Structure 1
């Protein structure tokens, strides 16, 4: 019977350490309800390797992306589109984004008028929200538009 040598155990331990180290950089996320939409697959396949100066990391959920160590930007495609809101909306490269700053410096930014929708969480202390939206908007513009667009508050019809 063949007995493993110390060198074999050392090699096995080194391989195990590399595998464990490699797995530790994976960002655990949850797939959105419509993550399996083919439009999300197209967009996700084109996510940049670098965003707002942060390197892309592996994620463990379909149609997601993450950048930074620790993650400063989280991207999820396939979220439920949002309806009209009083939150601020900004158009970047043809894509409308609703910006929730209620937990600043962590922002939740959601595409508006795109189906499926995209949700981005970002740490504005680490990355510039302008750089993140600039880096993602051209990709998100590939998602089908549903005709809804942002309105300035003064242009919105008053509710009775």
Structure 2
């Protein structure tokens, strides 16, 4: 598959979600964990969501326990933690594997698991940027903060550097 749209996933509340609903949007997909050194990035992701959602950005967070057992909680606890601690209002999805045989087809696509040069996720808070045509355009390793990818987001969203109210 060459675009995001054929995939689906379960929201954190257990309801199914078709990625087709994101057609025409810019999407940032992140594997997350609530007990990781990078967990504070939830705040940065929320800031990006608040700033750019109106311009067509959707953020999708997929909790994962494959790295250092840093997401040991169930979906309800993760949802509560994210909303209570970081005020998360972007898309939270059910806990999942991002690597290996149990990984969702979406994650197998993102990592190229079916291809000749797979690039498995190495740690929590790896980010994948999808353009408005559903194509994967960039991958960011965990140490790159949400603020550090803002210029790329602006570019893919078609926004000038100072195009938002209050910016110069």
Task: Tell me the TM-score normalized by structure 2.
Answer: 0.27
Q: Which has the larger radius of gyration?
A: 1
Q: Greater relative contact order: 1 or 2 (C-alpha under 8 angstroms, separation 6 or more)?
A: 2
